Structure 1
Amino acid sequence: MEPSKVYFTNLRTHNSVSLPEKLKRLIKKAGIGTIDFDKKYVAIKIHFGEPGNLAYLRPNYAKAVADVVKELGGKPFLTDCNTLYVGGRKNALDHLESAYENGFSPFSTGCHVIIADGLKGTDEALVPVEGGEYVKEAKIGQAVMDADVFISLAHFKG
Structure 2
Amino acid sequence: MQETITNKQIASPTTGAGTLRLLFHDCLPNGCDASILISSAPFNKAERDADINLSLPGDPFDLIVRAKTALELSCPNTVSCSDILAVAARDHVVMLGGSYYNVFLGRKDSRSSQASSIEGKLPKPSMKMSQMIDLFAASGFNVQEMVALSGAHTIGF
TM-score, scaled relative to structure 1: 0.31
Which protein has the larger Cα radius of gyration, Structure 1 or Structure 2? 1
Question: Between Structure 1 and Structure 2, which shows a larger proportion of strand residues?
Answer: 1
RCO comparison, higher one (Cα < 8 Å, 6+): 2
